[in-house]
Structure 1
Amino acid sequence: MPPRACRSPPRSTRKSQKRSDAAQQDAAREIQRFHGQHSVTLAGPRGAQEVLPIEQMQTVAITHKTSRAGDPHRHIHFQIGTRVWAGGKRRELTTAALFQQQGAIRALGTAVIAAHPQLAQTLTDHGLTLDPVSGEVTELEPFNAVMSKRSSQIRRNLERMETEWEAKHPGETPGPVLTARMQDAAWAFQRPGKKPADLEDEQWWRQELREAGYEADQLQRPDDVATASLDDLSVQQVASRALDRCAAVASTWTSHSVREHLTRITTEAGVQATPADLHELIDLATGVATGDCFSVLPPGMVQPEHVADLTSLGVVAAQAALRDRLAAAAPGREPEHPDVADAAQAAGLDAGQTIAATAVASTDPLVIVEGAAGAGKTTMLGVAIEVAREQGRASRMIAPTLRAAQVAHEELGVPATSVAALVYAHGWRWNEDGVWTRLAIWSASRSRLPNGATRSPLSRRTGDRYDIASEQAIERRVRSAAERADAQHARAALRARAASVHPAHTERRFFTDPQYDCQSTLHDARPLRYRSAAHPR
C-alpha cells in the first residue's frame, strides 16, 4: 500500500466532527448525572441491610475516534468506579441496581444524540437524515457494513454460536444469561489488535465508500422529515404509552423501566431539544407515570427504584380475568385418566413423566406441567399425544415462538403454530406499544362491509363473522356500550379492592375457590411434577 499523504480534512468535515463529538459528550454528561441521582449502595449487616443513595462516585469517559479494525467510529467508553462514598464511608456500588438501569441509560444516551439540535442541523446541511429510532444516518445505512468490519465479525460469530447451540438443544430458547455469555464470547473470539489509523487522512475511507457504490449526488434521500418540539408532546399521553409498554413486557416493573420507555417514545417522536430541556420533560413524565402505578410491596416497606414493585390496575384486571377464565374451565369432577403404562414404558418415562402423560392425555381441559430444560417434557408429550390419538382425539401444539413450533411439529408429528399466530387468527392485533385490540364482529345480515374489509373464515356463532378491516378503521372503532360499561364496572371494583386490600396481603392463587388452586412446583428429587389444575393431588 502506498504511503499516506497527510492533509487536513475539509472545514465542513471538521465542523461535523466537532458537533458529533459535542453531542456524544452531552450524552456522557447526562448519563453521569443519571448515575449520580440514581446509584445506590447497601449498609448494615446481612439480612438487615439498608439501601443508601450514593454521595460521591467516580466516572471516566474515554473518547475513541476509530474502531479496533481502523474504521471511522467516533464513540465514548463510559467507565464507572465501583467504590462510592455514602453514609460517611467508602462502600461498594450496588451493581444489581446498575443492571436494572441499563435500559434507561441506553435510551437516555440515544435520546440526547438524536435530539441534539446542532447535530441535526449539521446533518441537514449535508443532505443527511438521522433516524431517531435506529440511530442510523438513513442515507448512509447501506454502507454501514463497509465501515463496520468489527461489528460484522461479531455478528458472524454470534450467528454461528447460536446455530450450534440450537442444533444441540432443538426446540429450546436460550435464556438471558446464556444469551449474554454468547454475546461476550462472540465479541472476544478472534478479537483483532488495534489498528493504527490517521484521522487527518480520509482518502482511504472515501475510496472504500466509492468502491462500495457511494455517490453523494445519488443518495436516496427521504421526504422532508418533520421535527417536533417538546411542546408538541402531551406529558400525560407519553406517560400512558410508557405504562402500556411496561405492561406488555411484565406484570411488575421498576421506575427505571418507566423512564426507559418514556425516553424511547420521546426519541421516536423526532424531538429536537437541549439535554437540559429533554431530561426536564422525562423527569416530569416519569413522575406522572409512576403516580398512576401502585406498589405490590406491603405498606410502609421501602421501595427501592431498582426493585420491580410497580404495577397498574390494567394488569390486575387482566390477571383477574385470566384467573376467572381458568376457574370457569375447570370441570365439576375429575375426568377419567387413560392407561398410558405400556406407552410410557416403551418410551422409557419415569414415574413423574408417566403421571404427567396420563393427565395430558385425559379430557381434562386444564393441565399444568412444569419442568426444567432437559426434564423430558417433549418425550412425555409424545406419549400423551399417541395415547390421545388412539382414543380418537387430535392434538395441536402451541409454542411461544415460530421456531419452537416448527421443532415441535418435526419431533411430535402434530400441527403446531406460535402463540402470536393463534391470537392473530382469532382477530387480535397489537400496536407498537403492545396494546391489544380485537377486531370488531360484524353481523352476516349486514349488506355492506366497511371499506377495505374482507370476509374471514373465523366464526363464533352462526350469522356472525370476523371481518378484518384496514388498521386505520380498526383503531378508530370504539367498543360497544356493553363492553364500556363492563370495563368501567371492573375498574371501579378494582379501585375499591386496591384501596381496601393491599395486593401483597392477598394470597396469590389462580382460582377464586381454594379447591382449584394449582401452583405447580419443582422439588429436589423429582425432575418433573404434575398437578391437575382442577384437582390438585
Structure 2
Amino acid sequence: MTVRVTTLKGTGAGRYYTEHLPSYYLDGDEPPGRWWGRGAHRLGLSDEIDPEAFLAVMAGHDPATGQDLGRRMGEESVRGYDATFSAPKSVSVMFALGEPDVRRHVVEAHERAVEAVLGWVETHAHTRMRRRGHIVCVDTEGIVVGVFRQHTSRKLDPQMHTHAVIANRVRAPDGRWLALDARTIKVDQRTLSALYHAALRSELTRRLGVRWASPEHGIAEIADIDPEILAEFSQRTTDLQRRLGEKLTRFRADLARNPTPSERWKLEREAAIDSRPAKPHGISAAELRQEWQERVRALGRDPDRIIEAVVGRRRGLEGIDAATAARLVELALDSLAERQSTWRPAELIREMAAATPTTTTADSAELTDFLQRLADHVTTARCVDVSRPIPAGAALRRDGRPINESAVERTLTTEAILDEEEQLISWADRRRDGHTPADPIIRHGERLTPTQAEAAAVVAGHRGLELIVGPAGSGKTTMLASAVTELRAQGRPVFGVAPTAAAADVLAVETGMGADTLDKLLSEHRHTTRPPDPAYDLPAGATVIVDEAGTAATANLAELAGLADQSEWRVVLVGDPRQFSAVGRGGMFGHLVDAHGCAELDHVHRFRHVWERHASLRLRNGDPIVLTEYDQHGRLHGGTLNQMEEEVITAWQQARRRGETVALMANNTDTVARLNRLAQHTRLEAGELDPAKPSLQVGDESMLIGDEVVTRRNDRRLRTDRGQMVKNRDHWTITNIHPDSTVTLAGRTGAIRLPVKYVAEDLELGYAQTSHATQGRTVDVALLLVDAPTDSRGIYTPMTRGREGNDAYVAVDDNQTALDVLTQAIGRDWIDQPAVARRTQLDPRRDRQLDDPGDQEEYAKLERRIFHSIEQRRARARDAERTAGRGLV
C-alpha cells in the first residue's frame, strides 16, 4: 500500500507543512503547496497556499474572517488527515534520471492520478450530525485540501510523493461546518492506493509509452528498469537508522522527554544529511540529480540509455472494452470471495482498480469514474446486499443509503458464498441431529481433567460431527492423544489435519496419529486420473480430526463436508474461535459452535504462574480490566518505537542466553522484517555471527552462516537427509553458503542443501515471526512488539504462547501508556464473519422501529463490529495474500 492516511492532532499539526516542507533541504526547488477541493473554493482558497491561511484552516478558522468554522477546536483536537501518495520506485527513478520533458510528464501523470483519487474521496466524503435525537451520516459540500508535492525521501533518494492534507472541517447540507467523517479514508487506504496506481500507470502509458511488470497487490514497477538500479536508491536505510537512533538517544538524555512529531522530523532530516558526503551549503535539486546520475554511472550504467530503454516501448489501449470490463468483474469478485465472506463497494472498486490492464491509456479522472460506475453496476447486478434493509421513506445520501447508516457499513456478498455457507450449516445440522449413543469410557486418560476426559470421550464417540473448543494452553493435544489411543484400541481408524505441514508434523508426533494438511487431504481426493494415495484413502467410519479448525477456510470446510459424506467419515473440529481465524474466507467454526454448542476445555495448564492461568481466560474473553493485572506483574512495556525495539531485542537476547525457547513476534510482516534485521545485528555485535564468512543477499536481507532462517513454502520434492520434506515455517540454521548461491541448512528434521530458486524466493530470516504464525506453538518466553493497531486476537494469541512469561512491548505516543493502547485493542474484534451470520443479524424480522432507543444501541454495536472487521481486513490483507500462495498442499 503506497497511499497512507495519518491523523494530524494538536495545535502544531499544520506547521510541519509550512515550516519544513517548503525547503526540504532543496533550497526552495520543490514547488509550493496548492489548494484543492470544492470546500477550499467555498472559502475563497485557490492556487498557491499561503502559510497563514493554511494554518488558519488547520486550526478550524475561516482564513478570511478569522471566525471559527464550527465548534472551536481543543488543543488535542484532530486537525486533519495527511493522505500521502507515493509513486513506485521505478517512477521516481525515471523522474530522477530523465530529461526535462520526461520529468514533466512524470510529474503531470503523478499529479493527475492524485487529483483523480482526491475527486473520488470528495464524492464519498461525509460528516456526522445530530438529527431528531440521533446521529446521522450525511453528504458534504466538498473538502478542503492542501496539496504538497515532493521529489525526494527523507533519505534524499528519489521518491515522487504528495502530501494531500485534508482539513477536518467540511460543510454540511444545512450550511454548518462540521468534522469530516474520516472512516472512509482511514478504512479504505488500500482502495485509494489501488485507484492511484491504476491511474498513474494509465497516464504514463499514454504519455511515455512505458511497459509495466505484473502488478502485485495493485502496485507495479516499470518493466524496463533494472532492479539493480532500484536497489541502488533503496539502500541507505541502515546508516540513516543508526544515526537517527543516536540523535534520538541524545535528545532524550538532554531533554528528558521524547521528541514531538515536528522535532522528530527535524532529527530524521539531520540524520539524512549526516549520512551523505559533507557539503558546504544546502543541497539543490540540480545537485541531487547530478549525484543520482553519478551513482548510476558507478554501477557501469548510462542514465540516458536507461530512460531510452523505457520510453516508447508500448502503445496502450484507448479504453476498456466490454470484454475487458467483464474480465475485471470476474477477477475482482473471485479475489474478494477467496479472502472474505462479505465486502463493501469500496473494496469492490479496489479489486477492479488492481486488475485494470497495464496497457490502459485512459485519463485518470475518466478511468476512476469508469471504475466507480462499473462497481455500482456490479453491486446491484452481481452481489447480494446483506446490509440492514432501508426503511420506507428514509432520507438517503448520494450513495443511495439511509443517513442513519454509517458510511462504511454497506455489506455485500454473492449467492455462491451464501449457498456454500448455508450448505455447510445444513450439513452440520444433519450430522449433529438425532440420537447419539453413550460416549465410551476413556481408559487411557487417567491424567486428564474432567473436561479433558469429557472432550476426549466426545472425540472418540460416534456422532458424525463433533465440535471441541479449547482456550490457549488448555491441553487440547493431550486430550487428543488420549482420544486417539481410545479410537485405536477400538480398532477405528483416525487421521488428523492441521493448517500447515509443520503443525501437522507436531500433531502427528504428539498424538501418535497420521497427520497432514487439510489442503493435502482434499487435493488427494480431487484427482480424477488416479486414486488417492493410501495414506489419505481413509475407510468408511474413519474419524478425521481437524486441529486449529478456526483457521480453516470456509471453502475447505465445505469441501471436507462433501468428502466426509461421500466417504462416510466422522469429522471432529477442534479449535478456539477466540484466536486467529482463516487466512482466507472463514469464521464458520465459530458460527457452528454458536449454533450447536461444543465440548469445551475450561482449565489452563500451560503457564507456570497461577495468576496467568486465570488471567489468560479473561484476556480471551476481552476483559480490559485484566490488562491491569498484566501491567502490575511487569508484562506491559511502553515507549517510543525505537525504545520498544531495543527493549524487546534485549529481552530476546537475554532469554536465549538463559537457554530458553523464545517467540519474538509482531502483527505484520514489515515489523517482523525489521525485528529480524535487529536480531541479526545483535548477534553480529555479540560475536555469534562472523561477517568474514560467506554471506548471501536474499531480497532485502543479507544472510550469514549461523543465521536462523525459516522456509516459507512446502515442497514435497525437497527432502532432508532423514527423508523429511521442506515445510512452510520450518526453522533452520544456515551451516554453509556455497559459491553457486545454494545454501545448506540444519533443522530438527535433518539437513538439506536448498536450490538457488528456493533460496531466492522462499527463504527468510527466522528470528521473528508474525503472531498468526505462532498460533498452536508453545515456548518458554513470548515477546510481542505492538507498533500498529490490532484487535483482541492479535493480543490474546501471542500473549499466551509462553510458559514462563508473555510480555508486550507497545509503541505509544507521549500522552499514552501501553495499558491505554492494549485496552483499545482488546475491545476490537476483527474476525471475518460469515455472510449468513451477518444476514441473520440484520434480518428485518428481528428489528423494531429504527428510532427505538434499544435498536439504536444494538445497531451501534453492530456498526462498530462491522467497522473493526473492515479495519482488520485492511491491516491483515497484505500478510494474508502473501501467505495464501505459500503452497499449503
| TM bucket, shorter chain | 0.5 to 0.7
Residues 486-525 of structure 1 mapped to structure 2, 5 A cutoff? 517-518=595-596
Match for residue 455 of structure 2 among 356, 361, 364: 356
Q: Secondary structure at the residue paired with 2:138? A: strand
Is the CA contact 2:344–2:410 (under 8 Å) kept in the aligned structure 1? yes
Query: Is 1:283 matched up with 2:372?
Result: yes
Residue-by-residue CA offset, 1:407-445 (whole Å, 9 max, x unaligned): 545655654433444433333xxxxxxxxxxx7x46xxx
Shift of 1:228: 3.2
- Separation in structure 2 between the aligned mates of residue 129 and residue 332 of structure 1, nearest angstrom: 60
Is the CA contact 1:145–1:152 (under 8 Å) kept in the aligned structure 2? no
Equivalent residue number for residue 355 of structure 2: 265
Q: Secondary structure at the residue paired with 1:44? A: strand
Match for residue 251 of structure 1 among 341, 345, 353: 341
Shift of 1:25: 1.2
- Separation in structure 2 between the aligned mates of residue 401 and residue 62 of structure 1, nearest angstrom: 47
Residues 219-368 of structure 1 mapped to structure 2, 5 A cutoff? 227-234=316-323, 235-266=325-356, 268=357, 270-292=359-381, 293-301=383-391, 302=402, 304-330=406-432, 332-340=434-442, 343=445, 345=447, 349=449, 351-368=450-467
Please say which of residues 16-25 and 230-239 is displaced more in the overlay: 230-239
Match for residue 225 of structure 2 among 140, 153, 156: 140
Change (3 A) 1:412 1:46: farther
Match for residue 111 of structure 1 among 198, 213, 232: 198
Equivalent residue number for residue 58 of structure 1: 144
Match for residue 78 of structure 1 among 159, 164, 174: 164
Is the CA contact 2:471–2:601 (under 8 Å) kept in the aligned structure 1? no
Residue-by-residue CA offset, 1:209-232 (whole Å, 9 max, x unaligned): 45556567699x899767433243
- Separation in structure 1 between the aligned mates of residue 338 and residue 318 of structure 2, nearest angstrom: 28
Q: Structure 2 length as normaliser, TM-score? A: 0.40
Is the CA contact 2:431–2:464 (under 8 Å) kept in the aligned structure 1? yes
Change (3 A) 1:341 1:149: farther
Q: Secondary structure at the residue paired with 1:320? A: helix
Change (3 A) 1:394 1:206: farther
Shift of 1:456: 5.9
Shift of 1:82: 3.2
Q: Secondary structure at the residue paired with 1:251? A: coil
Change (3 A) 1:400 1:14: farther
Q: Secondary structure at the residue paired with 2:225? A: helix
Is the CA contact 1:114–1:130 (under 8 Å) kept in the aligned structure 2? no
Equivalent residue number for residue 205 of structure 1: 292
RCO higher in structure (CA 8 A, sep ≥6):
1
Change (3 A) 1:299 1:409: same
Equivalent residue number for residue 418 of structure 1: 517
- Separation in structure 2 between the aligned mates of residue 74 and residue 286 of structure 1, nearest angstrom: 29
- Separation in structure 2 between the aligned mates of residue 38 and residue 343 of structure 1, nearest angstrom: 60
Letter in 2 for 1:81: A
Residues 1-16 of structure 1 mapped to structure 2, 5 A cutoff? 12-16=98-102
Change (3 A) 1:47 1:65: same
Q: Secondary structure at the residue paired with 1:94? A: coil
Query: Runs of 5+ in structure 2 lacking a partner?
Result: 1-94, 242-263, 274-282, 392-401, 539-586, 603-613, 622-889
Shift of 1:237: 4.2
- Separation in structure 2 between the aligned mates of residue 401 and residue 152 of structure 1, nearest angstrom: 34
Q: Structure 1 length as normaliser, TM-score? A: 0.62
Is the CA contact 1:104–1:256 (under 8 Å) kept in the aligned structure 2? yes
Q: Secondary structure at the residue paired with 1:139? A: coil
The aligned length equals 410
Change (3 A) 1:204 1:339: farther
State the superposition RMSD in angstroms: 4.7
Letter in 2 for 1:333: H
- Separation in structure 1 between the aligned mates of residue 300 and residue 189 of structure 2, nearest angstrom: 37
Shift of 1:108: 0.5
Is the CA contact 1:114–1:132 (under 8 Å) kept in the aligned structure 2? no
Letter in 2 for 1:74: M
- Separation in structure 2 between the aligned mates of residue 211 and residue 257 of structure 1, nearest angstrom: 44
Q: Secondary structure at the residue paired with 2:272? A: coil
Letter in 2 for 1:277: E
Q: Secondary structure at the residue paired with 1:31? A: helix
- Separation in structure 1 between the aligned mates of residue 300 and residue 428 of structure 2, nearest angstrom: 59
Question: Between Structure 1 and Structure 2, which shows a larger proportion of strand residues?
Answer: 2
Is the CA contact 2:348–2:375 (under 8 Å) kept in the aligned structure 1? yes
Shift of 1:389: 4.6
Q: Secondary structure at the residue paired with 2:162? A: strand
Residues 322-471 of structure 1 mapped to structure 2, 5 A cutoff? 322-330=424-432, 332-340=434-442, 343=445, 345=447, 349=449, 351-371=450-470, 373-374=472-473, 376-393=475-492, 395-402=494-501, 404-405=503-504, 408=507, 414-427=513-526, 441=528, 455=530, 457=532
Is the CA contact 2:467–2:598 (under 8 Å) kept in the aligned structure 1? yes
Q: Secondary structure at the residue paired with 1:367? A: strand
Equivalent residue number for residue 431 of structure 1: none
Shift of 1:255: 0.8
Change (3 A) 1:521 1:366: closer
Equivalent residue number for residue 178 of structure 2: 91
- Separation in structure 2 between the aligned mates of residue 375 and residue 417 of structure 1, nearest angstrom: 23
- Separation in structure 1 between the aligned mates of residue 316 and residue 525 of structure 2, nearest angstrom: 38
- Separation in structure 2 between the aligned mates of residue 397 and residue 193 of structure 1, nearest angstrom: 57
Is the CA contact 1:340–1:358 (under 8 Å) kept in the aligned structure 2? yes
Is the CA contact 1:44–1:50 (under 8 Å) kept in the aligned structure 2? yes
Is the CA contact 2:454–2:599 (under 8 Å) kept in the aligned structure 1? no
Q: Secondary structure at the residue paired with 2:163? A: strand
Shift of 1:26: 1.4
- Separation in structure 2 between the aligned mates of residue 211 and residue 411 of structure 1, nearest angstrom: 57
Q: Secondary structure at the residue paired with 1:299? A: coil
Letter in 1 for 2:328: V
Change (3 A) 1:339 1:49: farther
Shift of 1:34: 1.5
Equivalent residue number for residue 181 of structure 1: none
Change (3 A) 1:72 1:97: closer
- Separation in structure 2 between the aligned mates of residue 299 and residue 275 of structure 1, nearest angstrom: 35
Query: Runs of 5+ in structure 1 lacking a partner?
Result: 1-8, 156-186, 428-438, 443-454, 462-507, 530-537
- Separation in structure 1 between the aligned mates of residue 133 and residue 467 of structure 2, nearest angstrom: 35
- Separation in structure 2 between the aligned mates of residue 396 and residue 191 of structure 1, nearest angstrom: 56
